[in-house]
């Protein structure tokens, strides 16, 4: 049995595995989180059929596609059995056209129950953008570099707050040094898909906590509807003394290879100023991470203060903190939130 359903219904049927039949390259670039890739055509095969379609037309392209797919059909069904022993699958391609229809037909002949998404992955992308543009209350946790905002957010989550860890999802800590020790970044499209996957599970009558970020976290961009709301929502700003921030950052970065730290410093030479960058690099080479971090923080603090000045002061609430203990700091922030009415 094959049933065609809209994007919302397709995503709501969460017990049925999702099969993405697009090419491996399409899937690798971005896909619905948790989906499985059973490509109808491999990357080179898809390119071959596409070229033939342009040169010789639809009929020749379809015939060549069938020649390629025919020997693989048993393998597709075997993969389907492994993924869904209950024989229930959701299947989609890019536009909800021939690729998903063909695979749906094949699985239905093997006695699978199949649901396909009308409009395919393209419609899914439009749907999540519409959803992320709805009225949701965000609270941004701000503070200068080294204040331990990510750790505080994790502690707030442990205290029952709704938190989305943007930097964790982006595999980047947000500065020139942010890629150190991290996995390769996802595409911005995949980041948005991953964000929605968490966002949709949350109670939208309660605040969702995010860390204060620029539009780009490394090479990944925050979804536009979310970023626009982040720029106008309330900010809880943690104010940690410089010496504690330096202490935290030395602990975080001193174990990374010196060459990586030097290259990250070189990337911000123009912003630091040539002499400051030179002094910071020399300090790194000598293992004097405290001095290097103090030099770099001078630049990042100025950048943060400028960004904060562009927000409405009426929406900024400051929490003074005098410890690097994220649990204690999260408790202070939660206590403040209980006194606020927004």
Rounded distance, CA 171 to CA 186, Å? 8
Name the CA radius of gyration of the chain, rounded: 25
Which of 200, 193, 29 shows the shortest CA–CA distance to 126? 193
CB 126 within 8 Å of CB 174: no
Query: What local confidence, expressed as pLDDT, does residue 153 receive?
Result: 98
* pLDDT tier, 23 (very low <50, low <70, confident <90, very high otherwise): very high
Secondary structure class of 4 (helix, strand, coil): strand
Rounded distance, CA 80 to CA 36, Å? 10
| pLDDT > 90 in the chain, percent | 82
Query: What local confidence, expressed as pLDDT, does residue 261 receive?
Result: 96
For 200-236, the pLDDT digits (tens) are: 999 999 999 999 999 999 999 999 999 999 999 999 9
- What element of type H or E holds 291? helix 289-309
Assess whether pLDDT exceeds 90 at residue 55. no
Mean pLDDT of the chain: 94
Residue with tokens 């503070």: 143
Query: What local confidence, expressed as pLDDT, does residue 50 receive?
Result: 83
Q: Where are the alpha helices (DSSP H) in 145-288?
A: 149-158, 166-170, 188-199, 224-230, 242-253, 258-267, 269-272, 274-285
Backbone angles phi, psi at 239, to 5 degrees: -115, 100
Query: What local confidence, expressed as pLDDT, does residue 197 receive?
Result: 97
- Is 93 an active-site residue? yes
- Beta-bridge partners for 41: none
Domains of the chain: 2-129 (3.40.250.10), 135-337 (3.40.50)
Question: Can you read off the two tokens belonging to residue 164?
Answer: 């989305």
Question: Taking residues 77-95, what's their average pLDDT?
Answer: 97
- Measured N-to-C along each axis, helices 289-309 and 274-285 cross at an angle, to the nearest 10 degrees, of 140
Sheet containing 208-211, strands listed edge to edge, beginning at the edge strand earlier in sequence: 162-163, 208-211, 138-143, 234-239, 316-320
Sheet containing 113-117, strands listed edge to edge, beginning at the edge strand earlier in sequence: 2-5, 113-117, 88-92, 18-20, 36-37
DSSP secondary structure string for all residues of 100-154: HHHHHHHHHHTT-EEEEETTHHHHHHHHHHHHHTS---EEEEEE-TTS-HHHHHH
Which of 28, 35, 44, 49 shows the shortest CA–CA distance to 99? 49
Tell me which of 14, 93, 161, 233 is the catalytic residue: 93
Residue 112: HSE in the Cβ half-sphere, 13 Å Cα cutoff? 30
Rounded distance, CA 61 to CA 53, Å? 5
Helix-, strand-, coil-residue percentages of the chain, each rounded to 5: 55, 15, 30
Assess whether pLDDT exceeds 90 at residue 80. yes
Query: What local confidence, expressed as pLDDT, does residue 245 receive?
Result: 97
Rounded distance, CA 50 to CA 54, Å? 6
Q: Measured between alpha carbons, how far apart are the two ends of the chain, in Å? A: 50
Residues contacting residue 156 through CB under 8 Å, at least 6 positions apart: 141, 163, 209, 330, 333, 334
Assess whether pLDDT exceeds 80 at residue 258. yes
**Least confidently predicted of 23-32, 59-68, 156-165:** 59-68
For 275-326, the pLDDT digits (tens) are: 999 999 999 999 999 999 999 998 999 888 888 888 888 899 999 999 999 9
Assess whether pLDDT exceeds 90 at residue 137. yes
């Amino acid at each position: 049995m094959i049933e065609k359903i809209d994007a919302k219904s397709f995503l709501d049927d969460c017990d049925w595995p999702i099969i993405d039949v697009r090419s491996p390259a399409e899937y690798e670039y971005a896909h619905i989180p948790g989906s499985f890739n059973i490509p109808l055509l491999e990357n080179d095969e898809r390119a071959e059929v596409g070229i033939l379609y342009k040169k010789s037309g639809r009929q020749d392209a379809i015939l060549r596609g069938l020649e390629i797919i025919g020997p693989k059909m048993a393998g597709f069904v075997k993969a389907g059995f492994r993924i869904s022993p209950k024989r229930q699958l959701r299947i989609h391609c890019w536009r909800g056209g021939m690729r998903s229809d063909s695979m749906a037909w094949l699985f239905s002949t093997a006695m699978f129950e199949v649901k396909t998404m009308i409009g395919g992955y393209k419609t899914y992308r439009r749907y999540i953008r519409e959803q992320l543009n709805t009225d949701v209350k965000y609270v941004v946790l701000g503070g200068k570099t080294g204040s331990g905002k990510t750790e505080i957010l994790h502690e707030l989550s442990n205290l029952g707050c709704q938190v989305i860890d943007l930097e964790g999802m982006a595999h980047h800590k947000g500065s020139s040094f942010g890629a150190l020790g991290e996995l390769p970044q996802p595409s911005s499209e995949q980041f948005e898909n991953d964000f929605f996957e968490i966002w949709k599970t949350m109670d939208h009558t309660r605040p969702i906590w995010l860390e204060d970020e620029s539009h780009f976290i490394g090479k990944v961009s925050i979804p536009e509807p979310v970023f626009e709301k982040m720029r106008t929502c309330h900010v809880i700003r943690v104010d940690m003394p410089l010496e504690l921030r330096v202490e935290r950052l030395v602990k975080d970065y001193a174990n990374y290879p010196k060459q990586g730290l030097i290259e990250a410093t070189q990337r911000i030479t123009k912003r630091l100023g040539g002499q400051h960058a030179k002094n910071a690099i020399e300090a790194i080479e000598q293992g004097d991470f405290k001095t290097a971090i103090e030099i770099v923080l001078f630049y990042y603090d100025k950048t943060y203060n400028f960004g904060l000045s562009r927000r409405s002061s009426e929406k900024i609430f400051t929490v003074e903190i005098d410890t690097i203990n994220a649990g204690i700091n999260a408790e202070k922030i939660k206590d403040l939130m209980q006194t606020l009415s927004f």
